[in-house]
Amino acid sequence: MVSSLPLQAPRVPAAHGLPDRFVLTADHYTNPRWLPIEQQAIFRRAWLYVGDGERLNQPGMVWARSVAGTPLLIVRDNDGELRAFYNVCPHRAAILSPQVGIHSCQRLVCPYHAWVYDLAGDLVGVPSQDQFPDSFQKPDFALRSVRLETWSGFMFVCFDDTAPPLAEFLGSIPEYLGRHRTAATQRLVAKQYTVGCNWKNYHDNTLCDYHVAIAHRTTLNPIQGPIRRYRHQLETFVNLLYTPITADWQAENSVLPTLQGRSREGFFTYGIYPNLHLLGLPNGLLIWLRIEPLAAASCQVALEIYGDPEYCPPAETLLTDFEAFMQEDMVITESVQQGYASGVYTPGPVNGLEARIIHQQQLIWKALTAAGGAE
Ligand code: FES
Ligand SMILES: [Fe+2]
């Protein structure tokens, strides 16, 4: 059975023990000096969503990609386990698999001196091995692994061995959205957008429950329903906006039969530290929005929509509906970026409907402070 978290009507941040002003200043959104600090203090310490494990659905499938500016290899090994390694050869630092994207192979062969690794990351072949000193031992030069865990088939990696397990990091998400995925769930939409704003600016906007009734009056607002029905839950690393389904939505959509309790009664809009959003709907839709920094005033927003086609609207409809309010957000966030860059802005007060923003800003601020980067 799904238990009940103490979902609350939105309250001013002080009621949650949070600051009543934005702790991040205009400088945090405009000064390029923050980018390397953020990579180290934030992105290399948190769990980072990388995609659906089903994309590597056979042993021997390998996904070479960059995560937080770091080259990674995600591998389905011969036992069917997913593993992540740095895509850097321990011999002389060549990128082991330069072919970005998903491909199949049984062995990883370095293009520089042809050291050979198996899919478990063990070094199994070395040309001219007799030319190395006798002390050379292949087990000493296995690929360096990176933590990889999955939730509901979705993969996350973490560079920090001291971070809590993924299930703990995700808070109430497994409880409320753990049954949304069915055996027939597919990736229906995958699209990326470049936006002219700082990544935190776009993250703030997606956490903002104050602008929906105004900026998304005819798009998102009718789906989320009236503000008086909004409910918040602020957890350690994630926060939630819960809105009960409206009569209009119910009339036009089907509910996934496997869902129970609140999971079938409302929309779950999660903000996940540091740059991720997950929406779960009672028709089984799971929607990821991931915001990656590109430069101080530029970010990439990756949209992925997963659903069971039997219960969801067609992919074209989903994309059209999503892009309608994403376009509205892009206009706003680019305008806010100009305001941050104007040199005249100091942070204004925080409304209760902005509590989710300040919750995430506090986590970002703490990470920067711990790294000695915040002043
Ligand atoms: S750098 Fe990879 S084998 Fe030498
Ligand atoms: Fe928005």
Question: What would the mean pLDDT of 252-277 be, rounded to a whole number?
Answer: 96
The domain 51-150 having CATH identifier 2.102.10.10: the answer here is yes
Q: How far is CA 81 from CA 31, 36, 161, 194, in A?
A: 41, 32, 19, 33
pLDDT for residue 99: 86
| Spatial CA neighbour of 44 closest among 189, 146, 152, 126 | 146
pLDDT at 6: 78
The percentage of residues in the chain with a pLDDT greater than 70, rounded to a whole number, is: 98
Q: What pLDDT, on a 0 to 100 scale, did the predictor assign at position 325?
A: 92
Distance between CA 75 and CA 50 in Å, rounded?
Answer: 13
Q: What is the pLDDT of residue 371?
A: 82
Q: Residue 4: pLDDT above 70?
A: no
**From the CB of 113, is ligand 1 less than 6 Å away?**
yes
- Ligand 1 proximity of 108 Cβ (cutoff 6 Å): no
Average pLDDT over residues 315-331: 96
pTM for this one?
0.95
Q: How many CB atoms lie within 10 A of CB 87?
A: 26
Ligand 1 within 6 A of CB of 94: yes
- Work out the average pLDDT over 147-153: 98
pLDDT in tens, 6-44: 799 999 999 989 988 889 999 999 999 999 999 999 999
Which has more confidence, 100 or 161? 161
Instruction: Note the pLDDT of residue 337.
Output: 98
* Ligand 1 atom with the shortest distance to the CA of 92: 1
Half-sphere exposure of 10 (CA within 13 A, CB side): 25
Nearest to 199 by CA among 271, 274, 272: 274
CB 307, CB 284: distance < 8 Å: yes
Distance of CA 171 to the CA centre of its chain: 14
Looking at the structure, give the CATH architecture of the domain made up of residues 13-45+180-370. Alpha-Beta Complex (3.90)
pLDDT above 70: residue 280: yes
Query: Average pLDDT of 55-59?
Result: 96
Q: Is 269 left (phi over 0), alpha (psi -120 to 50) or beta?
A: beta
Residue with tokens 């995958």: 190
Write down the pLDDT at residue 20.
87
- Output the six-digit token pair for 299: 């970010």
Averaged pLDDT, 275-303: 98
Q: Which two tokens stand for residue 48?
A: 């980072």
CA distance 279 to 285: 8
Q: How confident is the model at residue 374 (pLDDT cuts 50, 70, 90)?
A: low
Per-residue pLDDT band at 3 (split at 50, 70, 90): very low
Mean pLDDT, rounded, for 206-218 = 93
Instruction: Please tell me the distance between residue 62's alpha carbon and the centre of ligand 1 in angstroms.
Output: 19
The mean pLDDT value for 154-174 works out to 97
Which residue, judged by its Cα, is nearest atom 4 of ligand 1? Answer: 113
149, two tokens: 């865990």
pLDDT above 80: residue 62: yes
Q: Are 336 and 205 in contact (CB under 8 A)?
A: yes
Report whether residue 187 contacts ligand 1, using a CB cutoff of 6 Å: no
Pairwise CA distance, residues 237 & 362, whole Å? 10
Mean pLDDT of 226-236: 96
Substitution candidate for ligand 1 out of 89, 109, 123, 132 with most atoms within 8 A of CB: 89
Q: Where are the domains of the chain?
A: 13-45+180-370, 51-150
According to the model, what pLDDT value does residue 100 have? 87
Cα 109 to averaged position of ligand 1 atoms, centre (Å): 9
How many other CB atoms sit within 10 Å of the CB of residue 317?
Answer: 11
Please indicate whether residue 21 or residue 173 has the higher confidence score (pLDDT): 173
Cβ neighbour number for residue 62 with a 10 Å cutoff: 23
Q: Is 109 in the pocket of ligand 1 (CB under 6 A)?
A: no
Q: How far is the CA of 131 from the centre of ligand 1 (A)?
A: 15
- Tens digit of each residue's pLDDT (9 = 90 or more) over 179-209: 999 999 999 999 999 999 999 999 999 999 9
Sign of the four-CA dihedral 200, 206, 207, 213? positive
Q: What average pLDDT does the segment 257-276 reach?
A: 96
